[in-house]
Amino acid sequence: MTCNAEEHLTEAQDRAWLGEVPALEESLMHLRHRRAEALSQLSSARPV
């Protein structure tokens, strides 16, 4: 999902869709944050 959002952001920047860029950057930030949270929960849930 993050890769798709990165592709959309690159396309928006390339095509100068300046109104889309901030929204896509915000979405990417949230996706990356959620992924980090999920990975953290997975690693803390594994028995040592």
Other C-beta atoms closer than 10 Å to the C-beta of 46 total 6
In DSSP notation, 8-45 reads HHHHHHHTT-TTTHHHHHHHHHHHHHHHHHHHHHHHHH
pLDDT 10s digits, 11-35? 999 999 889 999 999 999 999 999 9
What was the pLDDT predicted at 1? 66
Residue type, 7: E
The pair of structure tokens assigned to 13 is 């920047």
What was the pLDDT predicted at 47? 67
Residue type, 40: S
pTM, two decimal places: 0.71
- Looking at the predicted structure, is the pLDDT value of residue 48 above 70? no
